[in-house]
Amino acid sequence: MKSPSELVLIYDGDCQFCRLSLDFGLRALKKFPAYVAFQKINPLEFGLTQEQVKSQIWTVGGGKPPAGAHLAVAVLLGMQSNPIYRALGWLIKTPPTSWLARKLYFFIAANRHRIPGGSRECKLTDTYKGTQS
């Protein structure tokens, strides 16, 4: 297993809510890592299992340890120059607020099919160009 040298966000490309969330992140955050749908990769090449990438988003590579779920969100916010985003990232990964952030992340993930999402077709193109399966 070789971790990519650049930071990569792995998301669920079949989930409309996940694609809309990614689209929002791309518009709202000035700095954003490469990203790829888990359906297009072999998770083992990133040190992850199929179950892990199906259950949550992940940031991997870039010299950072893998971070899933709310911790991946904290990584994305922590890389921003905006001090408010960085502070939110710190709160998300620091107890006791991290406990609430984890519960909230998995509550949303478990109920994402109930959350209103746009019906427009996703126009995102993955930016991670590493090994494709």
Question: In the prediction, which pLDDT does 115 show?
Answer: 77
- In a domain? residue 26: yes
Q: Is residue 2 in a domain?
A: no
Has residue 1 been placed in a domain? no
Mean pLDDT of the region 14-22: 91
| Domain assignment of residue 92, yes or no | yes
Examine the pLDDT at 22 and tell me if it is beyond 60: yes
Arithmetic mean of pLDDT, 13-28: 93
Q: Would you say 100 and 73 are in contact if contact means Cβ atoms under 8 Å apart? A: no
Classify residue 19: in a domain, yes or no.
yes
Q: 52-66 pLDDT, tens per residue? A: 999 999 999 999 999
Work out how many domains the chain is built from and give that number: 1
Length of the chain: 133
Q: Which two tokens stand for residue 27?
A: 């518009």
Is 125 inside a domain boundary? no
pLDDT at 4: 78
With respect to residue 130, please indicate whether it lies within any of the assigned structural domains. Answer: no
**Average pLDDT of the chain, as a whole number:** 89
| Over residues 96-107, mean pLDDT | 97
Question: pTM score, two decimals?
Answer: 0.86
Q: How far is CA 76 from CA 26, 33, 57, in A?
A: 11, 8, 11
User: 117 falls in which pLDDT band (50, 70, 90)?
Assistant: low
Q: Find the mean pLDDT for residues 63-80.
A: 97
Residue 122 lies in a domain: no
pLDDT of 121 above 50: no
Domain with 25, as residue range(s), is 8-114
Q: SS in 3 state form for the chain?
A: CCCCCCCEEEECCCCHHHHHHHHHHHHHCCCCCEEEEHHHCCHHHHCCCHHHHHHCCEEEECCEEEEECHHHHHHHHHCCCCHHHHHHHHHHHCCCHHHHHHHHHHHHHHCHHHCCCCCCCCCCCCCCCCCCC
Amino acid found at 37: A
